[in-house]
Amino acid sequence: MVNLDHSASRMDRIPFSGIRKIFEECDQLEQSGTDVVHLEIGRPDFDTPSEIKQAGSQALSDGHVHYTSNYGITPLRSALSDKLSAENGINYDPENEIVVTTGATEAVFVTMLALVEEGDEVLIPDPCWTYASSIRMAGGHPVTYELNPKTGFKPDLDSLTEAVSERTKLLVLNSPHNPTGGVVDRDTLNAIEDFVVDNDLLLLSDEIYEKIRYDGSEHLSPAAKNTLFDRTITVNGFSKAYSMTGWRLGYLAAPAELIDPIVRVRQYTTTCAPSISQHAGVRALQSGLHEPMVNAFARRRERIMERIENIPGMSCPTPSGAFYAFPTTPEGYPDEEEFVWSLLREEGVAFVPGSVFGESGHGRFRIAYSNSVERIDEAFDRLEDWL
Ligand code: PLP
């Protein structure tokens, strides 16, 4: 008999993505003729702005079709350095402190592989995006800290203090946050600064939803603080702000000593981000092209909050950023898996169960407002009838 289980033992710690299972079910339902309302997808539903697409086409016509430097093309690194200085208040040298990556996903992955030692602990928020799998692939252990729904899902300092140990190497911060829409404010960031310095930690700051904020909430980059600059890896990307998920373009910025091992990993992973996307990225940074999309998200957020309020049992703090809400499940449906799957199969409305994002997601689910106000209304009409 041939042994068909060839997977490496480290893969035992890597689960199949919970969101992917929902996508597959949506596919099957659609193939059998169901009209599925998609509120599960973590990406903007808009086309990439035409100016950016034109810059991509131009790069193709101009023959920019080859490998680039492992750090990324010089014009993009210079533009990123200018952006980080003007918008985030951080001075990074475009020569050796900025690396263009194949999406923020790769930025997170190569950072973990380069900096996390076998057995190191890494603090991640609960709930959160998929940091745990890249930490585990690097041989590290994810340890969670809580986000408090009562404060709009800001990091809970007591929980951070409980979670830290002598083995903790790095803290992951994500603001604006997926899946809750929470945004870290000045006081919280000051407390995190003390915590990181006192415990001698590195900090990975995932700022991919930076541009998507509401009600005047501020975006604060930890690396802008002198005490944190040396310890921080700032991660960001083009996927969310410019609706460029398929272009696979992200970046990270950090002091040269941290960049050096990260670039060595990159040399053996994707080598460089797609050359055409990098040229399009320069154009994206020159404009306020994200603004119409953010305005559309703001209108959808309002509608979602109005509809949530009308359903007994459902509640959540009003999201301050990103394009997600993370409410409790309706009265009578304490099990979020059962709620989400039944609603999908019986009514064709797609959400994501909260537990996909961590233990604290039990009894909650994620709504992505990556769909029009009309479709949001359609989803909530069906939900209300079903309940
Ligand atoms: N970080 C967060 C918090 C995300 O939600 C995502 C995507 O959903 C990413 C990073 C990765 O984005 P990309 O690899 O498309 O740049």
**pLDDT for the residue numbered 108:** 98
Q: Are 221 and 208 in contact (CB under 8 A)?
A: no
- The answer as to whether 174 is a domain residue is yes
Q: In testing the pocket of ligand 1, which one of 20, 48, 208, 234 has its CB within 8 Å of the most ligand atoms?
A: 208
Q: How far is the centre of ligand 1, averaged over its atoms, from the C-alpha of 128 (Å)?
A: 11
Domain interval for residue 83: 50-284
User: Does 79 lie in the same domain as 174?
Assistant: yes
| pTM, rounded to two decimals | 0.96
**pLDDT for the residue numbered 97:** 98
Q: How far is the centre of ligand 1, averaged over its atoms, from the C-alpha of 206 (Å)?
A: 8
User: Does 135 lie in the same domain as 270?
Assistant: yes
Q: Distance between CA 114 and CA 74 in Å, rounded?
A: 23
E strand spans, the chain:
37-38, 98-101, 121-126, 141-148, 154-155, 168-174, 202-206, 232-237, 250-253, 324-325, 349-350, 352-353, 365-368
**pLDDT for the residue numbered 2:** 63
Map residue 60 onto helix, strand or coil. Answer: helix
Domain boundary among the residues 256, 284, 312 is at 284
Q: How many CB atoms lie within 10 A of CB 111?
A: 27
Q: How far is the centre of ligand 1, averaged over its atoms, from the C-alpha of 1 (Å)?
A: 42
**pLDDT for the residue numbered 139:** 95
Helices 291-309 and 373-386: crossing angle, nearest 10°? Answer: 20
- The answer as to whether 2 is a domain residue is no
- Domains held by the chain: number: 2
Q: How far is the centre of ligand 1, averaged over its atoms, from the C-alpha of 42 (Å)?
A: 8
- Is the backbone peptide bond immediately before 176 cis, with ω within 30 degrees of 0? yes
Domain boundary among the residues 264, 284, 304 is at 284
Q: In testing the pocket of ligand 1, which one of 106, 206, 239 has its CB within 8 Å of the most ligand atoms?
A: 239
CA 10 to chain centre: 24
Which atom of ligand 1 lies nearest, measured to the CA of 177? 3
Q: Distance between CA 382 and CA 307 in Å, rounded?
A: 12
Low-confidence ranges of the chain (pLDDT < 70): 1-4
CATH number for the domain that contains residue 360? 3.90.1150.10
Ligand 1 pocket, CB under 6 A? 42, 103-105, 129, 174, 178, 206, 208, 237, 239, 245, 250
